[in-house]
Structure 1
Amino acid sequence: MFAITLTLLLLALLPLSVKSSALTTAIAANERLCFYADVDKAGEKIGFYFAVQSGGSFDIDFDVKDPKEKVLLDGQRERQGDYVLTANTVGEYAFCFENDMSTLTEKLIDFDIMVESEPRREPPAKPGQLADHSSALEESIFRLNGMLMNIKRTQKYFHTRENRGFSIVKSTQSKVFWFATLEVLGIIGMAIFQVYVLQTFFTKTGRKYKV
């Protein structure tokens, strides 16, 4: 009986209205890119996460607008952010990124937009039937859900740190390579110049001597 109850509770919690999209996109220099999410009813929760994975100083401008073009969130030169909003207006919400501060560098951004309804517990079929078990199981499920969300955020954090570290290492390797190349060319040029100076120093032009 307990197993059946657990199964029914899991099935009841699964169809919660959750719409999520995790994407990675590249934003060129001087480009503005917007993404949209629909909210079906007022009071729904909107989760918005983003992190700049590579490009320049790992920063980006962003803003979030409701269906009435009202700015709910905005930021300049932000590296990452994790926000939760309450949608008070039904309609289409815009999540925009702008790479206006960079004239040459492309930015790679990892972001996640989630629209989730407030969970509502339904009463049992009969008064008092399985109330204690249902309440305990629901609390455990919500607690596990919170722990999983924390693990997910931690994974995103380390993923971002790894990408940024790799980008920095790649950029440093490129700088070291070109510096070494210029240094070698400078040494070769200096050697050729020294040979030429020595050759002209010991060579007399315009005069001839007889012994």
Structure 2
Amino acid sequence: MLSRLLLLASLLTYVSATALTFALQPNEKACFYIFNQKQKANIGYYFAVQAGGSFDVDYTIKAPGGRVIAQEQKQRQGDYIFTADAIGEYEFCFSNEMSTFAEKVVDFEIRDDDDFRASLPNAPAENTAVEGMQSSVLRIESKLGQLSNTLQYYKTRNNRNQSTVKSTESRIFWFSIFDVVLMCSMAAFQVLVVKFFFQGSRKQLV
């Protein structure tokens, strides 16, 4: 019964141009929504599995009418931009239903790539100075976006490497415990065998 409840569980959160980190429980599906107010808008999204299992999730993106825009399985990360043709609510769903015990930690960001450009003032006609400033601002914004993506990539790599190190340390620890227990068991067995042989030889001498 509990597994069915987890299977049907869905985290419904309304976001607009925001980034967040959330935990995706085993057999859980989490959905996030962004409302697009104009046609032909460029919507970007980024996600990366920071920890848990094989660092992979299933995800689906749907348009307001329920049309599937993108659907991938067992993906570790993604950084994409798509054109939102329709006005309405777009759905981003992540699923960990393939996992029975591993919790996943996911970084997720939704952004409207047209918001920044729309906020720039319109340049007066034949004003090359303002146009040059706008072009410089757009180039800086593009470089900052690339820098942000690079930082997110290294953050993901660092988290995954730390998770791998912790997993390796745990395996080494338990293997060492097993090795010590095995050696003590073998030593005790050898003592018992030698003791048994000595007891048998003494009975023969008597």
TM over 0.5: yes
Partner of 2:64: 67
- In 2, Cα distance between equivalents of 1:95 and 1:55: 20
1:122 is matched with 122
Aligned to 2:148: 152
Once the two structures are superposed, what CA deviation does each residue of 1:13-64 show, in whole Å capped at 9, x if it has no partner?
A: xxxxxx4111111111111111111111212211110011111111111010
Q: Does 1:178 align with 2:165?
A: no
Q: How many angstroms does 1:101 deviate by? A: 1.8
Distance in 2 of aligned mates of 1:71 and 1:58: 24
8 A contact 2:36–2:84 mirrored in 1? yes
Paired position in structure 2 for 1:204: 200
In structure 2, the CA distance between the partners of 1:208 and 1:194, relative to structure 1 (3 Å rule), is closer
Higher RCO (CA < 8 A, seq sep 6+): 1
- CA shift in 2, pair 1:116/1:207, >3 Å: closer
Q: Which runs of 5+ in 1 are unaligned?
A: 1-18
5+ long unaligned stretches in structure 2:
1-15
Distance in 1, Cα, partners of 2:102 & 2:135: 48
User: Which residue is 1:6 aligned to?
Assistant: none
Task: Mark the CA change 1:143 to 1:209 in structure 2 (over 3 Å): closer, same or farther.
Answer: closer
The Cα offsets for residues 101-148 of structure 1, whole Å up to 9 and x where unpaired, read as 211111111111112436356242xx54xx011111011000111111
Larger Rg: 1
Give percent identity, aligned residues only: 41
Q: TM-score, normalised by structure 1?
A: 0.84
User: Hey, what does 1:88 align to over in structure 2?
Assistant: 85
| 1:137/1:201 CA distance change after superposition, 3 Å | same
Partner Cα separation in structure 2 for residue 165 and residue 83 of structure 1: 24
Which residue identity lines up with residue 147 of structure 1 in the other structure? Answer: K
CA distance in 1, matches of 2:149, 2:158: 14
Q: How many residues align?
A: 188
SS in 2 for 1:204: helix
TM-score in terms of structure 2 length = 0.86
Tell me the CA shift for residue 207 of structure 1: 4.9
Inter-partner Cα distance in structure 2 for 1:35 and 1:106: 18
Code of the aligned partner of 1:173: E
**What is the CA RMSD across the aligned residues, in angstroms?**
1.8
- DSSP 3-state at the match of 2:102: coil
Counterparts of 1:146 and 1:117, CA distance in 2? 12
Q: 1:36 aligns with which of 20, 30, 33?
A: 33
Q: Is the 8 A contact 2:123 2:130 kept in 1?
A: no
Cα distance per residue 1:125-180 (max 9 Å; x no partner): xx54xx01111101100011111101001000000000000000000000000000
1:43–1:117 contact (8 Å) kept in structure 2: no
Give the aligned partner of residue 13 of structure 1. Answer: none
